[in-house]
Amino acid sequence: MNNLAFIELRDLRLTTQIGTYGPNDTKPDVHILDLILGIDANQVLIARDGMEHVFDYDPLISEIDRLAGDGHYETQERLMTRIAHACAAYAEIKTVEVYLKKAPVRQGNGSLGVRLLLNETATDSLR
């Protein structure tokens, strides 16, 4: 394995609809995404400045926004699966860590999340 560098996206509030809730259930106010992408260190340790030498994450973030708003999800896991596939579509991405949490969980407090870690082999298997 080559040396890795990491792109970290933290606390991205997603505009999404996840879950089914009854009248007495606590419905989350927010769904928050953390994403850590392992890329080849050569895309960070660059000899010259310029976007052509680095990984451009903006298109991926746009795709994540599109996926989040792409209808109702029954589970957080389904949206996470789609985000993982979107990440794997980029050959530059070697490893993926997705953490999606919702808040509040009960009576206006707490958060609950699911974390997915994909090493290089697992990321390759999604391609």
Residue 57 has pLDDT above 80, yes or no: yes
pLDDT single digits (tens) 1-33: 579 999 999 999 999 999 999 999 999 999 999
- Map residue 45 onto helix, strand or coil: coil
Residues 39, 93 contacting (CB under 8 angstroms): yes
What average pLDDT is seen over the chain?
96
Residue 120 has pLDDT above 80, yes or no: yes
Q: What's the confidence (pLDDT) of residue 81? A: 98
Fold of the 4-126 domain:
GTP Cyclohydrolase I, domain 2 (3.30.1130)
Distance CA 101, CA 17 (A): 13
Q: What's the confidence (pLDDT) of residue 107? A: 87
Which sequence spans correspond to the domains of the chain? 4-126
Q: What's the confidence (pLDDT) of residue 2? A: 73
Helices marked H in 31-109 — which ranges? 58-68, 76-88
| E strand or H helix that includes residue 126 | helix 120-126
The whole-model pTM stands at 0.94
